[in-house]
Each structure stands twice: as C-alpha cells, then as structure tokens.
Amino acid sequence: MSFRLKTILGIALIELVIMVVLIFMNQLNFGGTASSEAYDRGRVTAQLFSTMVTDAVISTDLATIDSMIENTLENDELIYLRVLDSRGVVFSQGGDAQALARPFSEDPDFDSALSDHRIDVMNPIRIGNQDFGRVELGLSTLRVEHGIKLALIWNLVIALTGMTLVAIFGFVLGSILTGQLSSLRDGARMIEGGNLAHRVPVQGRDELADTALCFNNMAKALATDRAALEAQQIDLLEKRERTLEMVSIMREIVKGKTLLAIPSQQRDDEIGEMARATAVFRNSMEEIAAARREQARLIKAFDHLGEQVAIFDSNERVIFTNAAFRENNPAIIASLPLAFSFEEYLVSATFHSAGHERDAWITEFRKKAQADDGSAELVHSDGIRLLVRETMVENIGMIVIATDITELRTSQAQAAHASKLATLGEMAAGLAHELNQPLGVIQMATGNMLRRIEKHGLDETYAAGKLERIAGQTERASKIIDHMRIFARRDDQRTEPFNLRNAVQSATTMMRAQLSGSGIDLDETLDCKDMQATGSKVMFEQVLVNLLANARDAILERVARDGDATPKRISVSVVTEGDGATIIVSDTGGGMPEEIRARLFEPFFTTKAPGKGTGLGLSISYGIIQNMGGEINASNVNDGSRFTINLPVAA
C-alpha cells in the first residue's frame, strides 16, 4: 500500500470517525429532546384533562365527561382517553377501540412506548389527600419517530458529502507529499547500497525539506563514522592480538612460570592497563607461591614443636593441628566432627573441677586462658596435664598452644611434699609437747584411779569420771595425729571445693603448740562462715603453715637481736567480700628490707642460715595460690611483715 493511499485512507478514516461522532451526538441530542418532549406532552395532557374533569367526576356528571372526552380526542396525536372512578370503574372513554380493549400499562419513559408506538400515561383525580379516580390516555409516537428518521437521513447525506470532499483533498495532498518522499526513499536505497556520497535534492522550506536536509547530514555523518569504524577495526584487531598474548602469559603464570617478561606495559590504552594488571597478577602469584612455601615451612616447624598447637577460625572451628596435637589426641579427635570447635574439644578431652557446672567451668577456664600473660590448666581424662594459652590473631582466628606440664607438676608436688616433711621436722618438737599434754593427763588419771581402787575398792562414779577424762584426752591426741597424717600425706593434685574456715583452723592447730612453746601468741579472726574455696585443701594448709613458720622464725630472730621486750604475736584473719576471700597473716618480726621483699617468691632464695631453709617454701606457696586462681603478696606493716592472699570463693 502506497503512502499516498495511506494518506487518503487515513484522512477519510479520521473524517468518518468525526462524522460518526457528530451524527451520533446530533441524533442523541435531537432524538432525546423530541422523545422527552413527546413524553412530557402526554404527561401534561393527562394532568390537564384530570383537572378539567375533576368537578364532573365528583358530581358524577357523565354527560359532561363524555363531552370533554369527545372534544379532547379531536387532537390527532391522542389515540384514546378514559376516565375511571376510585374503584377502577370506567365513567367514560373514547378513541381507538383496540387500544381501549388492551389492559392499561403505564410507560415510564419514551423508549418503553416504542414497542406499540403509543405513550400510555395515567394521572390521578385528587383533591387534598382524597382520590376520586384517574385519567388514562394514549398518545401516538409516530410523528416523533418520523422526525428522528428524517434527521438521520439528512445527517448521513451531509457526512457522505464531506467524506467525498476530504478524499479528493487527501488525494491531491498525498500526491504532493509522495513526490518528495520518493526522493527520500531513493536516497535511502542509495545509502543502503553503500553510496554514502549520494545527496537528496532539497525543495521548499517545509518539514519535508528539513527532513531531506537532515538526511543529507546523516549521510555525511555516516561516511565520517564509517572511516572512524574502519580505523577502530584495525585498532581492535591489533588489541585482540595483544589481548590473546596477555591471556597466554596469564595461563603460563597460573602454571607456575612467574619469570616471564610482560610486553606493552608502557602503553596508555586498555592493553597497557591489562599488561600492568598481568604484571601485578604475576607478582601476586609469586607472593602466593612464597606464602605457600612459608606456610609449608611454618607447618613443618609447628610439627617439630613439642607443644600441642591448634588454630581455630573466627567461628572457633579448627583449621589446623600440628603433629604433637594429633599424636597426643588421636582418640579424642576421632570422636569429634571434622571441623570441631574448641569447646567441643574441651568437653571431650577434659573433666571439669568438681562442684562446677560444665558451662561455668568452660567460661572460667577460657577467661584465664585469654587473659594477658594468662594461662589455664587442663587435665585430660588419662591424667595428662596441659598448660593452655589462647592468642587471638587478626584475620586468622585463635591459636591455642598447650604444653605438657605433667612432669613439672609431679616435680612440684614432690618439692611441695619435701617442703611439708621439712616443716613437719621443724614442728616435731612442738607436736611432741602437744601430744605429751594429753598423755600426761591420761597417765595421771589412770594412776589416781588405780590408787583409789587399792584403798577404797571400785567406785563406779569416780571411775566413770576418770575414764571420761581419759577418752577426751585420747580424742585430742587422735586429732593432733590426724592433722599430722593428713598434712604429711602426698597430694593427689585433685581440685575440689573445701571449707576455707576449716582449712585455716587445721593449719593453726598444727602450729599453735609450737608457737606456744616459743612464747608466741596466735590470734585468729575468721569471718568466713561456710565459704568454699576451690583447690587442694592440703596444699592450701601447707601455704598457711609455711607463712606461720616464717613468721615464727622472723619473731625469734628479732628476739635474739633485740631482747625479750620484743612483742611476740602472729595474727591470722579471713575476710570475705562478694565473690572473693582475703587471708592475712601478719607478725611482729620487724619486717623485711625492700631488696629481700622483691625476691621473696623466687625459688631457692632464702635469708636463713645454711641447713635451716631450702628457699622453696614461699616459691611453692606462690605456685599453689596461683593455681587456685588467686594471688599472694607481701608488705611491711608497722613493726612486722604482712602476707595477703586473695582467693575466689565458690558459690
């Protein structure tokens, strides 16, 4: 279909749509007005006639009603007219007999009356609120319908005439336009064939002339762009060769050849950027290779370490274990998932302290292990003891290093036991004196009872009193021996809660006789009720015995130096506050120089004469308190020394 035909048909179609709309609106307006007026005329006629016959109906003047009906029916549009009373009985009627014979049905509008070409309306005869009857009439619609059809015919004639004129005008306009468009079409075909030098003739100053001018400019721009594209194509082919060369070099680098030369790095285009990126990639691969070599070296070094090393990621899932860790934990590792967590390892490999819930124990253990310069001790179910330290490393996770201290703890236990035996040796004289007192009482009570029996025979009341006294002294001696036996036994290194007050009293009981024999007063202030500490009770008692023995020696040295006027008193107090307890042992031994106090807890350091001390007592005491999670320190107060022990207490 040609552009000219499209133009004619388009204009005709537009005209057709406009005419259809105008005809529709005209018919709608005219028909609506005519039909509305016809219906209103019927309604008004009924109202007027009902007013006219009201008096005749009320007076039942049938002659008047007949006369009025006859006169009204002279109107050509009226088909019938009927007057009825309030009961529906016909007073009078006239007009078309067939219409009167049909049942009356009132038409609500003009459209409903088109079926029988008659408008049926009714109007009541009413005075006030009282009905006296009604008027029914039929009005013909034929005249109105004829007028509407005639208007439609004239609208169609006008529309056809207008469309014919528009078609002729469109034909002429299309012929003018298609002439210039043909020139544009021919020019486009020339451009399509590759002739970018062709130009379309420009005629006039209208839009088609502007289009032709734009077409010529487009052809000129296309010619310029073609030359640029050809140059770019040559450049792209060259870049493609360089790109393939870079890809080949990258493949060689991935294979491990990192000593390759990379050309084109001095260029300022994309190839230069790719070349420089390839150089960076080569250097990165070299660094990765070096890092892998370093990693292998570190893994080898870790595997040669005697300590057990495990590395966990930021989610605390294991990512590396060294040979020592794997060799010492084969059964434990086999029972855990592939990427086990540190807490899963703790639960599977250790048992927690008695009297502590597992989660609370793990929290306390990790708090110690993660502290600055802190460490925590693990006890495997097979008795192996490990000293564990956790270190957080940025971008890696957590490094756990565990050192086997089983032999160290055994040696420490042996040294502590030797220290206890040495302390017992020093306490032997005092303990013998302490035992002699109940033995003397027993001997005296037994002798008195035997003499009483020889003189007066057996007096049961007297004998019962003596035997009761003997039993009390025997129990006293038994307690002293029990304290010595418990203190002297080898520690099993078990950690468990113990009563802090009982432990302090046991230590002071063992030392009281010896201190009393030396004329030293021992004061106790135990404000700890039923507080529990966690650790080895026997080892804690050894710490107190060591402190009391050192306090005794300091006081006796001062007495030997300054005379008997020296006050001789040792005080032991326990105070609890919150979740901690403080044990203070102070004396009147004159204190200690600063240089001695600084080295007080060093192993084998002692100020006593040769043969009177090993220098291990305070060092062992320091280790015992530290293993219990506490701390011990010394200071000079007034005229003596004071040792302060801070311990956490159990719930």
DSSP string, 410-468: HHHHHHHHHHHHHHHHHHHHHHHHHHHHHHHHHHHHHHHHHHHHHHH---HHHHHHHHH
Instruction: Collapse the DSSP code of 203 into the 3-class scheme (helix H, G, I; strand E, B; otherwise coil) and give the result.
Output: coil
Q: Is residue 514 pLDDT above 90, yes or no?
A: no
**Least reliable range by pLDDT among 54-58, 282-286, 354-358, 568-572:** 354-358
Q: What is the pLDDT of residues 440-492, one digit of tens each?
A: 667 777 877 787 787 777 777 777 777 777 777 676 666 666 655 655 555 55
d(CA 514, CA 204): 136
Domain with CATH 3.30.450.20 in the chain: 3-163, 305-404
Selection from 647, 638, 634, 643 nearest residue 572 by Cα: 643
Residues whose CB is less than 8 angstroms from the CB of residue 440 and which lie 6 or more positions away in sequence, other chains included: none
Superfamily of domain 305-404: PAS domain (3.30.450.20)
d(CA 184, CA 219): 12
Output DSSP code: residue 622.
H
Q: What is the CATH number of domain 3-163?
A: 3.30.450.20
Other Cβ atoms within 10 Å of 153 Cβ, number = 9
Total residues belonging to the chain: 651
On whether the CB atoms of residues 583 and 628 are closer than 8 A, the answer is: no
d(CA 314, CA 304): 26
What is the pLDDT confidence band of residue 7, given thresholds at 50, 70 and 90?
A: low
pTM: 0.37
pLDDT of res. 352: 47
d(CA 246, CA 504): 81
Domain with CATH 3.30.565.10 in the chain: 409-650
pLDDT of res. 585: 92
Which architecture characterizes domain 206-292 according to CATH?
A: Orthogonal Bundle (1.10)
Domain with CATH 1.10.8.500 in the chain: 206-292
**Least reliable range by pLDDT among 62-71, 87-96, 208-217, 437-446:** 437-446
Cα distance from N-terminal residue to C-terminal residue, the chain: 102
pLDDT of res. 422: 57
Crossing angle between the packed helical segments 460-488 and 500-517, to the nearest 10 degrees: 100
On whether the CB atoms of residues 339 and 318 are closer than 8 A, the answer is: yes
Q: Is residue 611 pLDDT above 50, yes or no?
A: no
What is the pLDDT confidence band of residue 357, given thresholds at 50, 70 and 90?
A: low
pLDDT of res. 383: 66
The Cα diameter of the chain in Å comes to 178
Of 3.40.50.970, 3.30.565.10, 3.55.40.20, 3.40.50.720, which CATH number belongs to 409-650? 3.30.565.10
**Least reliable range by pLDDT among 318-327, 391-400, 488-497, 548-557:** 488-497
d(CA 426, CA 488): 13
At 579, list the tokens.
């979740």
Other Cβ atoms within 10 Å of 383 Cβ, number = 8
Residue with tokens 């090393």, as numbered in its chain: 309
Q: Is residue 586 pLDDT above 90, yes or no?
A: yes
What's the whole-number average pLDDT of the chain?
77
Helix H or strand E segment including 309: strand 308-312
Quick one: what percent of the chain has pLDDT higher than 90? Answer: 2
At 491, list the tokens.
């520690």
On whether the CB atoms of residues 584 and 644 are closer than 8 A, the answer is: yes
pLDDT of res. 2: 58
Quick one: what percent of the chain has pLDDT higher than 70? Answer: 77
Q: What is the pLDDT of residues 536-558, one digit of tens each?
A: 887 888 888 888 888 888 888 88
pLDDT of res. 584: 92
On whether the CB atoms of residues 310 and 283 are closer than 8 A, the answer is: no
d(CA 581, CA 528): 8
Selection from 328, 430, 339, 330 nearest residue 378 by Cα: 328
